[in-house]
C-alpha cells in the first residue's frame, strides 16, 4: 500500500525564492575573509564640521519572520539629531539594510539636512551606492527610492564601518525587528542605547580582527 502525504501549496514560495536569491547576492558581494588579519582598535568616528552623520543597520532575527531596521543622525558635535526604528516583517539581510538606509535618508525631510555622511556596516550596500550603474530588478523600487533621496542632498558621502562602530544603529535595528508597530521616530536617545551612545561620544575603543590590505591594517 502506498500512502501519499498531501501538503498544501506553499503560498509564499515566490517570496522565499526572492529572499534566498537576494541573500545569496548579499553574501557573494560581501568581502570574503582574507587569510591575513590583525588586531585593530575600532570606534565610532567623528565627522567633519558642517556635516551630519547617519548610521543605519538592518536586523533579521534568526529562524523567525521578524526583521527590522533602525538608525540615527548626529550633528558635528556628536549630539543626537533624530532616530528611528522600523518593523519590516519577513525579509533578508540585504533588504533590511536597504530599508534602514531609506528610512534614514527620509529623516532629511524633517531635519533640514543638506550635507550628510552615511555609514553602514554592510559593505555590499555601500558598494551599490558607489556604483551608479548598478541595476537589480528585484530590489529596484527600494533601490530607486534610495537613489532619488540621495539626489536631494547638496553633499552626501557613503562609508563602510565595522559593526563595533555601528552599535547604536545595530541596537535600534534589533528593537525594530521585535516592535509591534511599523515605525517609531525618536527626538532623543533611548534608554536602551544610552550606554552605546555615550561610548561613541567618548571615543571608547573595541578590539577587532581586521583584514590586512597590502600590508596596511
pLDDT in tens, the chain (217 residues): 444 444 455 555 455 555 555 555 555 555 555 568 888 899 999 999 999 999 999 999 876 679 999 999 999 999 999 999 999 999 999 999 999 999 999 998 788 899 999 999 999 999 999 888 888 888 889 999 999 999 999 999 999 999 999 999 999 999 999 999 999 999 999 999 999 999 999 999 998 888 876 544 4
pTM of the entire predicted model: 0.82
**Alpha-carbon gap, residue 56 to 169, rounded angstroms:** 5
Contact 176, 69 (CB under 8 A): yes
Confidence (pLDDT) at 53: 97
Confidence (pLDDT) at 114: 93
Residues 6+ apart with CB under 8 A from 151: none
Domain 50-203 has CATH 3.40.120.10: no
Helix (H, G, I), strand (E, B) or coil at 176: helix
Comparing CA positions, the residue from 53, 48, 139 lying closest to residue 93 is 139
Neighbours of 97 (CB within 10 A): 25
Comparing CA positions, the residue from 200, 209, 184 lying closest to residue 78 is 200
Place of cell 532616530: 83
Contact 163, 173 (CB under 8 A): no
Domain ranges of the chain: 50-203
Place of cell 587569510: 35
Confidence (pLDDT) at 32: 53
Confidence (pLDDT) at 212: 74
Amino acid at each position: 500500500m502506498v500512502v501519499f502525504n498531501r501538503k498544501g501549496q506553499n503560498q509564499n514560495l515566490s517570496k522565499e525564492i526572492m529572499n534566498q536569491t537576494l541573500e545569496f547576492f548579499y553574501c557573494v558581494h560581501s568581502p570574503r575573509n582574507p587569510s591575513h588579519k590583525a588586531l585593530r582598535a575600532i570606534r565610532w568616528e567623528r565627522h567633519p564640521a558642517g556635516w551630519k552623520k547617519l548610521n543605519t543597520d538592518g536586523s533579521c532575527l534568526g529562524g523567525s519572520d521578524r526583521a527590522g531596521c533602525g538608525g540615527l543622525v548626529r550633528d558635528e558635535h556628536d549630539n543626537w539629531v533624530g532616530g528611528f526604528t522600523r518593523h519590516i516583517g519577513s525579509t533578508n539581510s540585504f533588504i533590511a539594510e536597504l530599508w534602514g538606509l531609506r528610512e534614514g535618508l527620509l529623516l532629511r525631510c524633517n531635519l533640514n539636512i543638506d550635507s550628510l555622511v552615511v555609514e553602514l556596516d554592510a559593505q555590499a550596500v555601500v558598494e551599490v551606492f558607489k556604483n551608479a550603474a548598478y541595476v537589480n530588478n528585484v530590489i529596484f523600487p527600494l533601490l530607486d527610492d534610495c537613489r532619488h533621496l540621495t539626489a536631494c542632498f547638496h553633499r552626501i558621502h557613503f562609508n563602510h564601518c565595522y559593526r563595533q562602530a555601528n552599535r547604536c544603529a545595530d541596537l535600534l535595528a534589533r528593537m525594530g525587528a521585535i516592535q509591534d508597530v511599523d515605525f517609531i521616530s525618536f527626538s532623543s536617545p533611548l534608554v536602551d542605547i544610552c550606554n552605546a551612545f555615550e561610548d561613541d561620544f567618548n571615543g571608547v575603543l573595541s578590539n577587532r580582527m581586521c583584514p590586512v590590505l597590502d600590508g596596511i591594517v
